[in-house]
Structure 1
Amino acid sequence: MTYLVLARKWRPRSFDTLIGQDHVVRALNHALTTQRLHHAWLFTGTRGVGKTTLSRILAKALNCETGITPNPCGQCRACQEIDSGRFVDYVELDAASNRGVDEMTQLLEQAVYAPSVGRYKVYMIDEVHMLTGHAFNAMLKTLEEPPAHVKFILATTDPQKIPVTVLSRCLQFNLKQMTVPAIVEHLQQILEEEKIEFDVPGLRLIAQAAAGSMRDALSLTDQAIAYSAGNVSNDAVQGMLGTIDQGHLCQLLRALMNRDAQSLMAVADDLALRGLSYSAALGDLAVLLSQIAVEQRLPGATPAEHPLQADIQDLAQQLGPDFVQLFYSVAVHSRKELSLAPDEYAGFVMGCLRMLALMPGDTLPSQPDIRRDTAVAAPVAAAAAVTAAAPQLEQAVEAAVEAAQHAPVEPAAPVVTPPVAEVVTEQAAPTPATEEAVAPAEVQEPPAAETAPSAAPQPVTEAPVAPARDDDVPPAPPAAMPPTTEVGGTILNKPSAPAANVDVKPPAEPAPSVAESAPVPAVAADGPPADFDDIPWEDDPGASDDAPYEQAGDPGSDDSFSGQDDVASFEGALVEPDLSGLIAEPRDVAKTASLKRMDSSGWPAVAASLPLSGWAAELARQSEWISADKEGQIVLRAQIRSADDSQAKARLSTVLAEYFGQVVRVNIEYGATGDATAYAVEQAEREQRQLQAEQNAPKDPFIVSLIREFGAQIMPGSIQANHLKAV
């Protein structure tokens, strides 16, 4: 006996057994019951939804020997011959192979004759959209006014290709795709009748793979029966279809929540070992994410018979709705990009890693925070360079003093020898090597009006030590100018103060005169230079904002040089050692000191001048200055929270560190901002320019002449100011 496939064996024989097309069955039942029969019907829908089956049931209802009825008997000659395809008055025409005007003309010529055995002559034209334009034109007249004994049933999967002249002559019924529960229920009934074992999860996989087609579902069931040797189990169906186990997808989502890249790669490798489709895996992942999203919005919406009900409910509680939407978007787009990937494995892995990278707070293992390091790299590198150069600096100073020791010294009158100028050390104790390197030397007597005579030259016994703070510098003697010390023709101390630092600068800059030189931060032998922490702040008692770096003996103070003659006498006398490349350039004191004096009124101008672009520039322009401390912590307030806040803050911190000359860190508060932002200031200026332009327009000579000579009028709202800033 020839085996009959399930799709043919279990084809519906009546309207009652038709699955999933209740809206069409209801309309046809009412039409047959009331005898309101149209002469042409058009059935549209995808493959396997019942178009041909419905046309055969309708043909039986029209030609059943019991009469025109919505419930054909199925036992009479007409019903049996229509089911077996042998009824002479029921003609099924395949328009895909009979699409020309000649075939259509031949069919219409036979339509004029009365039916041979039946009540109506029924012509069923399948895939009618494949007919040519001439064939459609040939059937228009007959389709509009056919003989009373002729009925037309047209079926198509693409109704858009049918001319509107044909559509207007038919009753159109759109057949719906089968739902997964309807297919599963129908398959259960069939397998129970066939005495075949099955698992409901396996039937659900078949229904999902059928994509709404009952014929595809029955064909896959036939294949599953053969594959599993009569036991349609879940594992057998998965092996047959090559689908991924849904538990692996749940494992994938949990790995994303835990930021576990190793588990992600394990899922990808398992798919590779099983030879499964990565495109299908991404599609199943998108379906699972959609089910999780529905469960989040409608708790309890997942049916109890769903094999992953517990996992879906658990993931719906653990995953945030925004993450679900993000993962769904990445899964859908990654599936589309698989064709562009080098291979499907790489495309799937990159899609999973993209989901992981978009998780907030995700960082690569054992990698520094590049955005933060960028903000502090330059100042730290400068400090490290100065620290590394400190030993070479000390050696260079000792060599200069030793060279001065062996230089010939002209005899001079006795003078009082003060301590040698303190040279570039902070927190450094005198060493024996330093004391031995400095030998006694005679010095020349300065002018009598400025110094007191001394009996004999005194040896140098103190190591050079520079004051660390302004308040450590002793006041200048009120009565007389402090003496100078000269060794080998080199003046080692300034005449303006008892102790002063040797001003050492890179050779690239010209050496300033004694009157123009300014004190610079001291360089320690074992640490970074004097930092911004030494600057007095508003909260330090006794601090002065007017002159935070002012020292006794500064050229601008009263106890400095007495006149231009004194300046000329010491001009160029200071000989500096060549320390090229040993130390880094000191920080800009003006910029460093400006951070503590920054306030909300000066921030808009600074924010507008910073070399920024993108959201970092918008963050600076639309933020309001709140506070800053001496550790470099800057607090700004912004009104809009940015999705890329960390990168914007890192870029802003880097630029502000360069601007202020020290390490800064920017913290952002979110709230309402006032008028103390660069954006608000710019808007106010634009409004002011606009108002000024509107006020000046009626006074413009050219506009006045137009109004006077041609009767012109100024349209309200047509005046636009030039908002470009003047350079």
Structure 2
Amino acid sequence: MSYLVLARKYRPRNFTELVGQEHVVQALSNALVQQRLHHAYLFTGTRGVGKTTVSRILAKSLNCQGADGQGGITAEPCGVCQACRDIDSGRFVDYTELDAASNRGVDEVQSLLEQAVYKPVQGRFKVFMIDEVHMLTNTAFNAMLKTLEEPPEYLKFVLATTDPQKVPVTVLSRCLQFNLRPMAPETVFEHLTRVLAQENLPAEPLALRMLARAARGSMRDALSLTDQAIAFGNGQLQEVTVRQMLGSVDRGHVLRLIDALDRSDGAEIVSLIDALRRYGLSAASALEDMSLVLQRMAVIQAVPNSVEDESDPDSAQITRLAKGMAADETQLLYSLCLHGRGELGLAPDEYVALTMILLRLLAFKPGAMTHTPAEKKSPRTPPLLTPEPPGEPHPAPAVLPVIAPVLPRLVASQTSVQIETASEGPPPWDDLDGEDPYVAELSDDSETQIPPFQVLKVRESSEPTERTSHRRETAKPQDGAELILTPEGEFWNALVRDMVDRELINALVRELALQSQLIARNSDRWHLKLERESLNQATSRERLKAALATLGHAVELDFEFGKVTDSPLLRHTVALKEKQWAAQTLIENDPMVQDLVRDFGAKIVPGSVKPI
């Protein structure tokens, strides 16, 4: 006897054997029991989810005669009467299947409808099943509309399609529509387990899970892949052979890639991609598996109490990666993996594309540095509105500009600052190569140190300028929060800048530190204030605490919520506004610009002046 493939051998023959479509089974079963039968049914769904199978079971339910030949319409066809056996074997004269993909013209449809005038020969009902009905031409659809709307009482239409959007609404309105859903991987896995148990074939659970994922919701594809895997593995289904057959990436490679991305280890990433090339594994499969793992990590991060599949041996490692990686990094990696799959076909080599995608993930990680340590330039002091003679070099980090030295002078003077032209010296926003004298003043114990609770208010200049009458003053920005300088704030600002410079904090932890204000501290406990409660996450607090311990501050952190008046971010924002004000003032007071405005009616486009 010739071999019958698993997809045909284990095709469901009644509603109880149909898996994954309980919503369709319940509706049809109730209709059959109550005999509230519609004259036209439309089954939609992707390939291999059971559209043709449901049609055949429905035809058997309508025509079943029972084991004793006395049966009627039933939701549980016997499967042993002549009608049931003929429908299963495809030779029942009153059940007609038409493939609209190859018989899509009006002539084929008219030939089918000509049979509608004749009553059933064997069964109780005639059933016309049209598969891939969306392939019919518009003329063919129009030819069947009248019969579809008012068929004889003994005629039932069953239409099936994978693309219901292409079916005319005039046809949709005449049918009872059921959408067959793609199978969940767990549903496919359980069905494959039962099938192989009946076949007495040994199978590793991980191998079946890989086949279930590769089927992408299609039970027929899953059974066909299982047939192929049985032949490939010489009668055995093992994870190694199935992975080799599918060209899938070992989950261990994927976990190591994500771990290397979390650690920003570019060398290991390149090495792992070279290993994928040597093994001949699919680059697209690598990105797909990475997306699946990142999705599980995102769920664990959003729902810490979610229950992981204990049968999956990678669950513990995925949980570890989820707890170690920031939530925003996980979301970014997931998004770039999805978009990166579309680039594989554009590159000359898919492994080259995979390398670039993963390096892009590394480059765009939140808080990632865009240059190597060897390329870091020596940090310089912040911009001053009036340059002073340089002093000793001051080693301030370049990641967060030094803001505090500018503020005491602005508080002390509270007068308009005279802007020098480009011919008399460098622009005021250029960084100085030497030390800011105010930094030196702040570094010692002199009276020029920042007094406690000193208030900075940005005011509009009231003094006239020394240049021509055409020159005008630019008002300093008035918006923004009020900055109140405190000694604890100065200490916290320098400490946060140091942690950022050493890359001890990034992403959400960095934002938590930048937007916090140090209120008070002692040897073992620090009290901070924060405005945004969304930043106060347990993971972020623990990582900030660990970063402080690395710098020798092993303390507990307490947070309260309220208005922040002296945070590193607030200092940085005030300095940027002063920098923008200085740049705009210099441009508007430039003699050449004023001549252009006066003689030619020129205007400075708002927002176009940017400090360098």
TM over 0.5, shorter chain: yes
Partner of 2:472: none
1:105 to 100, 104, 110: 110
Distance 1:321 1:628, change over 3 A: closer
- 1:17-58 CA-to-partner distances (Å, cap 9, x unmatched) read 001111111111111111111111111110000000010111
Q: SS of 1:178's equivalent?
A: coil
Contact 1:180 1:208 in 2 (8 A): yes
- What residue is the counterpart of 2:119 in the other structure? 114
1:92/1:126 contact within 8 Å kept: yes
Please say if residues 328 and 366 of structure 2, whose CA atoms lie closer than 8 Å, have aligned partners that are also in contact: no
2:45–2:180 Cα contact (<8 Å) kept: yes
| Superposed displacement of residue 320, structure 1 | 1.8
Which residue in the other structure is 1:327 paired with?
333
Q: 1:360 aligns with which of 363, 367, 371?
A: 367
Distance 2:358 2:227 in 1: 36
CA shift, 1:118, in A, is: 1.1
Structure 1 residue 103, shift from structure 2 partner: 1.1
Which residue does 2:248 correspond to in 1? 243
What is the distance in 1 between the residues matched to 2:57 and 2:212?
Answer: 25
Match of residue 181 from structure 2: 176
Q: Specify the code of the residue in structure 2 equivalent to 1:372.
A: P
Deviation of 1:335 (Å): 2.0
Relative to the length of structure 2, the TM-score reads 0.65
Q: Give the aligned partner of residue 201 of structure 1.
A: 206
Structure (1 or 2) with the larger CA radius of gyration: 1
The alignment status of 1:137 with 2:142, answered yes or no, reads: yes
2:128 pairs with 1:123: yes
CA distance in 2, matches of 1:185, 1:134: 44
CA distance in 2, matches of 1:104, 1:621: 74
The match for 1:37 is: 37
Counterpart amino acid of residue 329 in structure 2: F
> What is the distance in 1 between the residues matched to 2:459 and 2:443?
18
Q: 1:373 to 1:335 in 2, by over 3 A?
A: farther
Aligned to 1:3: 3
> Any conservation in 2 of the 1:47–1:213 contact (CA below 8 Å)?
yes
Name the aligned partner's letter for residue 219 of structure 1. S
Aligned to 1:61: 61
Counterpart among 647, 665, 669 of residue 568 in structure 2: 669
In structure 2, the partner of 1:149 is: 154
Residue type matched to 2:151 in 1?
Answer: P
Matched, 1:313 2:212: no
Residues 13 and 74 of structure 1 are in contact (CA less than 8 Å); yes or no, is this contact kept in structure 2? yes
CA distance change for structure 1 residues 355 and 604 in 2, over 3 Å: closer, same or farther?
Answer: farther
Question: Pairwise mapping of residues 338-353 of structure 1 onto structure 2 (< 5 A)?
Answer: 338-353=344-359
Instruction: Give the secondary-structure state (helix, strand or coil) at the position aligned to 1:197.
Output: coil
Q: CA deviation at 1:300?
A: 3.7
Query: Structure 1's 604 and 368: CA in aligned 2 closer, same or farther, altered over 3 A?
Result: farther
Alignment of 1:470-549 (within 5 A): none
Aligned to 1:304: 310
Preserved contact between residue 188 and residue 219 of structure 2 (Cα < 8 Å): yes
Partner residue of 1:215? 220
Q: Helix, strand or coil: the match of 1:92?
A: strand
Aligned-partner SS, 2:220: helix
Mapping of 1:250-261 within 5 angstroms?
A: 250-261=255-266
1:243·1:281 contact (CA, 8 Å) conserved in 2? yes
The C-alpha deviation readout for 1:633-677, integer Å capped at 9, x for no partner, is 9x89xxxxx99999xx9xxxxxxxxxxxxxxxxx97235999999
Given that residues 624 and 674 in structure 1 are in contact (C-alpha distance below 8 angstroms), is that contact kept between their aligned partners in structure 2? no
**Cα separation, 2, equivalents of 1:676 and 1:201:** 58
Cα offsets for 1:385-416 (capped at 9, x unmatched): xxxxxxxxxxxxxxxxxxxxxxxxxxxxxxxx
Q: 1:84 aligns with which of 72, 86, 89?
A: 89
Distance in 2 separating the partners of 1:534 and 1:263: 42
Q: Which amino acid aligns with 2:11?
A: R
Q: For residue 42 of structure 1, give the secondary structure of its aligned residue in structure 2.
A: strand
The residue type equivalent to 2:377 in the other structure is I
Equivalent-residue separation in structure 1 for 2:147 and 2:312 (angstroms): 52
Residues in 1 aligned to 2:119 and 2:197: alpha-carbon distance in whole angstroms: 45
Change (3 A) 1:624 1:124: same
Label 1:677 to 1:38 Cα distance change in 2 as closer, same or farther (>3 A).
closer
**C-alpha deviation, 1:276, in angstroms:** 1.6
**274-283 or 361-370, which deviates more:** 361-370
> 2:587 — aligned with what?
none
Unaligned 5+ runs, structure 1: 385-507, 510-527, 544-598, 610-617, 637-641, 650-666, 683-721
Are the structure 2 counterparts of residues 537 and 88 from structure 1 closer, same or farther at C-alpha, using a change threshold of 3 Å? Answer: closer
Change (3 A) 1:678 1:93: closer
Identity within the alignment, %: 50
Equivalence for 2:342: 336
Which digits, 9 at most, give the CA deviation of each residue in 1:82-119, with x for residues without a partner? 10001111100011111111111111111100111111
Task: Give the corresponding residue for 1:443.
Answer: none
Query: Structure 1 runs of 4+ off > 4 angstroms?
Result: 361-366, 373-376, 528-543, 599-606, 618-629, 642-646, 671-679, 722-725
Question: Which whole-Å CA distance do the structure 2 matches of 1:234 and 1:319 have between them?
Answer: 29
* Aligned partners of 1:178 and 1:212 also within 8 Å: yes
Q: Tell me how far 1:336 sits from its aligned partner.
A: 2.4
Instruction: Please list the CA deviations of residues 593-619 of structure 1 after superposition, one character each: whole Å capped at 9, or x if unmatched.
Output: xxxxxx95678769xx9xxxxxxxx99
Cα root mean square deviation, aligned: 4.4
Quick check: 2:287–2:338 contact (8 Å CA) kept in 1? yes
For 2:287, the aligned partner's letter is: L
Which one-letter code corresponds to 1:360 in the other structure? G
1:178-193 mapped onto 2 (5 Å cutoff): 178-193=183-198
1:624 Cα offset (Å): 7.0
Letter in 1 for 2:36: R
Q: Deviations over 1:330-370 (max 9, x none)?
A: 21222223334343222211222222222525475551423
Which amino acid in 1 is paired with 2:31?
Answer: A
User: Structure 1 605/351 Cα, relative in aligned 2: closer, same or farther at 3 Å?
Assistant: farther
**Cα distance, 1:670–1:121 mapped onto 2, change above 3 Å:** same
Counterpart contact for 2:381–2:434, Cα < 8 Å: no
1:164 to 162, 169, 178: 169
Q: Residue 318 of structure 1 aligns to which amino acid in structure 2? A: G
Quote the Cα distance in structure 1 between the aligned partners of 2:434 and 2:61: 103
**Does the 8 Å contact 1:47/1:157 carry over to 2?**
yes
Q: What is the rounded CA distance, in whole Å, between the counterparts of 1:197 and 1:302 in structure 2? A: 26
* Structure-2 change in CA distance of 1:251 and 1:7 (3 Å): same
**Equivalent residues, number:** 451
Q: Is the 8 A contact 1:624 1:677 kept in 2?
A: no
Alpha-carbon distance in structure 2 between the residues aligned to 1:530 and 1:68: 95
Report how far residue 136 of structure 1 moved.
0.9
Deviations 1:250-286 (A, max 9, x none): 1112112222222211211111111122122112101
Q: TM-score, normalised by structure 1?
A: 0.55
Q: 2:275 aligns with which of 270, 278, 288?
A: 270
Query: Alpha-carbon deviations, 1:190-249, whole Å to 9, x = none?
Result: 111111111111111001010000000000000000111011111111000001011111
Q: 1:44 to 1:251 in 2, by over 3 A?
A: same
3-state SS of the aligned residue for 2:374? Answer: coil
Report if aligned partners of 2:483, 2:570 keep a CA contact under 8 Å in 1: no
Question: Secondary structure in 1 aligned to 2:178?
Answer: strand
Q: 1:65 to 1:363 in 2, by over 3 A?
A: same
Distance, in Å, in 2 between the alignment partners of 1:257 and 1:538 is: 38
Aligned ranges 1:281-300 → 2 under 5 Å: 281-298=286-303, 299-300=305-306
Residues 80 and 536 of structure 1: CA distance in aligned 2, closer, same or farther (over 3 Å): closer
SS at match of 1:106: helix
Partner SS for 2:42:
strand
